[in-house]
Structure formats: structure tokens, C-alpha cells
Structure 1
Amino acid sequence: MARRRKGREISGWLVVDKPSGMTSTAVVNKVRWAFDAKKAGHAGTLDPDATGVLAVALGEATKTVPYITDALKCYRFTVRLGQATTTDDAEGAVIATSDLRPDDAAIEAALARFRGEIMQVPPQFSAVKIEGERAYDIARAGEEMDLAARPLWVESLTITARPDADHVELEMVCGKGGYVRSIARDLGAALGCHGHVLRLRRLWSGPFTAEAGTTIEQIDNLARTEALDDLLLPLEMGLADLPELPATAEGAARLRNGNPGMVISSDAEWGEEAWASHQGRAVAVGVYRSGELHPSRVFNL
């Protein structure tokens, strides 16, 4: 018989400003411990050396993780020109170099091909699965893979600074599944000079910002206290990109049992995904049809 995980039934979001040198999994485990939470997960992995927004969901908020994962995200990063590495970041070994240093105009011209709908090949050291194995495990074993290109929407990609000839700072807003390391690698290849990510920070993810994030030091200092609970954001923030449909009392009761429930009003179109609320709290996510929400996920709050 499987052991039942202990912990509190607590739900909501904690936005962590992840420090460099810590894995996303370690952050989630730290947050779960600090809240004594029964269940936790995160919306979008950050590389260990990356910093910035890591949105951690507790309890019922884990059901809203896909909507934050799918939301637009903003990254600020520094590309080191003139060097390619095995990992496409500063952790890897240098495998190619170039004395060429393109000017700002050349970089700006090259960036055009990385905007809009693009196809991107993930780094060899990534969490992509190849026949059940993680790519980084295969890469660590010294094997090379032919990873398939994947579509990525890049809303914007701009130069924010050029500290010197070896470095360029960029800011990118993109959709789900983007690898900043691949952008740096491919930009370097397009410029004919090689490139890799030197520093990376996620500024925001959906409705969550690094500026409003909680530090690991704060989490440690406030662990297992009401003051930490006060930092928890409502589950509903994970549904910010979906239309909200107020439900009738009877409709809310039906939705909680997994049945279609009546909603009072709607800006949603027929067949659109939306969420129903009652007395300010989320009841369910589902598809809106003819005055009712047909639930796919129900929240036990």
C-alpha cells in the first residue's frame, strides 16, 4: 500500500526569485517544506545558473500550472560572442572560437530571423525526452543526438545593451517551450562568430514578476509561520489569461460534482475555455457552451 504524503492542504502561488546555483526542483522542495504543504509543483523550469521568476504552485493551484506554462514569458540575457560551448551556456566546455565580432547593426539584422514563429532545436543538454531518456543524460554519457526542431513563438527580441565587443545583452518575450540557450547558439551561428549564454534572468512569467518575488532567504526565515502564508497569492492568478464566468449557487454546486453548471454572464465565446467562480473563488475550468461551463478540472477549495 502506497504511503500517503503528509502535509497541509494549502493552495495558492508563491513567486520565487530563484537564485543562481539552485535547481528548480530544489526550489519547489524548499517551498513545500517551508509551507508544510502536501502538494507542490512549478510552472516552467529554469536552468540552475539562471535567476528570476519561478512560480511555485501549492495544492489545488497545481491544476492551473498548464496555463502559466503556456503564458508569455520575458527573459533578459547576456550572450558571449566568439565562443561555442557543449551546453550552450557558460557551464559547458568551449568547443569552438572565432575572432569575428559583429557590430550592433549586424546583430540587429540577424535578430530579425528569430522573431515571430520560428523553429528551434533544443540544446543537447536539455530535459527533452528521447525514447524515454532525458537528453541531458544522453549528452553526459558523451553521445550526440539529432534533436528535432520545435515551433516557438517569439513576441519580441531586442538589444538592451552592448557592454563591449565580446558581449551583447538581449531581452526576449516568447511563448511556451523556448530555450534561451538555443537563441544564443543560433544567433552566434547566424553571425558566423559562435555564441553562448553567459547570464540569464526571467523577468516575468504570465502575471508573475521577479520584482515581486520572494527570496530563498525570506522563505528560510519565515518557514512554518503565518507570515509566510501571507505571501501566498490566490490560485485564481493562474487563470488570469482565461475568461472568468460567475456561476449561480446551483451551477457552482453542479460544477463541484463534475457536472455542467449554469453561469450568470459571459464574455466567452461558445466552445472557448474559461473558468467559473462563485463568491470570488475558482470552482472549475472547462468549456463554455450555451450558458453553461462544462468542467475539465474542478477545484476543491
Structure 2
Amino acid sequence: MCHGWINIDKPVGISSAQAVNQVKKIFNIKKAGHIGTLDPVASGVLPIALGEATKTIPYLSCNLKAYNFTVQWGEQRSTDDVCGEIIKISAVKPEYNQINYLTKNFIGEIVQTPPLFSAIKINGIRSYKLARSGQNVDIKPRLVRIHDLKVLFIDAVNNSAEFFMLCGSGVYVRSVARDMGIALNCFGYVTKLRRVMVGNFKENGSVQITQLTANCEISSITSILYEMSGIEISEEDAKKIGNGKKIRLNNLYNLKNYDICYVTIGELPVAICSFICGYIQPMRVFNF
């Protein structure tokens, strides 16, 4: 069975869950999961964990994400992308200087309201399900961080603009397009969206699903744990960890109380652990 990570270039037209299912069939595995959901109309980097690597997903931040996207001015749509119904129109055509100046207002910590058609849960129900059924959806604004937002190209003929954005987790590109359109008094929605980076997973290292085979090389489980300390332990201690017992650590790694780390025997990962009062306590044990 395969255990590790693969950097998929998700195509337009399928959901992230469908992409995962296709990968599971190719590798003939039962367990797989992904980081960072992409809508069916979006393409790009989708990191997928295979087998025991799925146990690391809750401990990963992958806060930095990057996108290239195109905004069509002149309309606001119910979904803030090409799939929605037109709800507002405008004849205003913003110029480059206006758009470029506006982007500065979206850099830093900003308040953003996610789209009505999103996967955010409201009283346990996905927002898009409520919106599709015609119910009133009350999504609360939240603080998010955008590190960079740049104008790449202005298409004056078609009244659209292309952007690059570097941001933290939880940022909705569709909301950025919607809010820029409102600020410019011209409205706007996303017509093209491509994710080019999730943490250390980059576009130039991704592979298309159609190119995948069961013999494709995958990254190791620990390759994505770059924010954690890796600690090599003995086989004796590994058995204790495997049985759910804690072990004493000579803290040469200068871990602080409640730091998360991972332990290995050589290059073989054993568990994700927490360091508590001089001891390593297993949180998720890998089964090989």
C-alpha cells in the first residue's frame, strides 16, 4: 500500500473529492485525503495524502496559498463565479490605475464575508445547500490575511482583469472579486481560478491525474512535516510509542511544552507526538 503525498494538478470540471477518488482508484488504496478544497470550476495544486499520511492532515497548517485568477467586471453573480445567476449589472469600466490603487486596500488583515455558495457550515449545514434550497443564509464576516495582491493584466476590450494573490488560509478568491467590484462600483465575479501554491506544494511540481500511474513516485509522509521537529528513537522506544505509552526525552531539540513533533526509526515514521513535561506522548501512530 502507498503511504505519502502526491501533488495533483486538479483539472476544471471535477470536485476535490472526485479528484481524491480518482487517485484512490489509480493507487488501489482505501484511504486518501486532501488539503485545501478547490471548487469544480477551479484548477491547480491539490495536495493529496495517501494511506497513513492522512493521519498528518490535522497537524498541518499550510497557511500560505497562491492563486492566479481573472475577474469579469460589469456583473455580480449569486455564486460570485461563472456558475451563478446575474443579480446586478453595471456599465462602469474601471481603469488600470483605479484597480491597481484599490488592491492596496485588500492587503493585510481584512474583514471578509465568504460567498453564500460556500462549504462553510451554518448550524451544521453547508451554506451552499441552504442557498440552493432558497433559505436565508447569514454568514458572519471574519478576519483573514492577504499578503499580496497584484494586477497582472487588464483586458480593456472584454472589461476584465487578471490578478495574482498570496494569502493565508480561509481567504475566498470569489469574495475578493465580489468586494473589489463593489468598491469600484462596477461589480465583478471570477471567471477563471487557478491555485499555484499550497505551502511547499508548487504548480511546477504538480502532476495531472491523467498522467498518474500506480508506479508514480510519491513524497514521504514526513516530507510535509517541515514545521515540526523530527526525532529519531530506538526500536524499543518505538514499541512503547506504538502501544500508546509515553517515553522520556533527553530534550536536545529544545522542545517547549505541548510542542508537536514526529518520531522515526531511521527514515520510517512512527508517530505524531506531543512533548509534555519531558516526555513524548503519542497522538497518532502510523501503522505499517
TM-score normalised per structure 2: 0.91
Return the offset for 1:110. 1.9
Residue in structure 1 matched with residue 264 of structure 2 by the alignment: 277
Return the offset for 1:204. 1.1
On the 8 A contact 2:62/2:198 being kept in 1, the answer is no
How far, CA to CA, are the matches of 1:26 and 1:46 in structure 2? 11
Return the offset for 1:142. 2.3
Aligned: 1:141 with 2:133: yes
Residue in structure 2 matched with residue 178 of structure 1 by the alignment: 171
Alignment CA distance shift 1:196-1:216 (3 Å) = same
How far, CA to CA, are the matches of 2:63 and 2:254 in structure 1? 20
How far, CA to CA, are the matches of 2:16 and 2:236 in structure 1? 41
How far, CA to CA, are the matches of 2:130 and 2:28 in structure 1? 35
Residue in structure 2 matched with residue 299 of structure 1 by the alignment: 286
For the aligned residue pairs, the C-alpha RMSD in angstroms reads 2.0
* Correspondence for 1:192 among 185, 204, 208: 185
On the 8 A contact 1:68/1:205 being kept in 2, the answer is no
Query: Which stretch shifts more, 107-116 or 257-266?
Result: 257-266
How far, CA to CA, are the matches of 1:259 and 1:71 in structure 2? 32
- What whole-Å deviation, never above 9, does each CA across 1:258-299 have from its counterpart, x for those lacking one? 222345631543432222233023222233345543332222
Alignment CA distance shift 1:254-1:188 (3 Å) = same
Which ranges in structure 1 are unaligned for 5 or more consecutive residues?
1-8
Which ranges in structure 2 are unaligned for 5 or more consecutive residues?
none
Aligned: 1:56 with 2:42: no
Residue in structure 1 matched with residue 199 of structure 2 by the alignment: 206
* Percent identity of equivalent pairs: 38
How far, CA to CA, are the matches of 2:207 and 2:179 in structure 1? 33
3-state SS of 1:15 partner: strand
Alignment CA distance shift 1:90-1:127 (3 Å) = same
- What whole-Å deviation, never above 9, does each CA across 1:170-222 have from its counterpart, x for those lacking one? 11122222211111111111222111111111101111122221212113xx2
TM-score normalised per structure 1: 0.87
Letter in 1 for 2:244: G
Equivalent positions of 1:248-287 (< 5 A) are 248-263=234-249, 265-266=252-253, 268-287=255-274
Alignment CA distance shift 1:263-1:105 (3 Å) = farther
Residue in structure 2 matched with residue 111 of structure 1 by the alignment: 103
How far, CA to CA, are the matches of 2:34 and 2:277 in structure 1? 34
Q: Aligned residue pairs: how many?
A: 286
How far, CA to CA, are the matches of 1:109 and 1:119 in structure 2? 19
How far, CA to CA, are the matches of 1:96 and 1:176 in structure 2? 29
Aligned: 1:240 with 2:226: yes
Residue in structure 2 matched with residue 18 of structure 1 by the alignment: 10
Residue in structure 2 matched with residue 88 of structure 1 by the alignment: 80
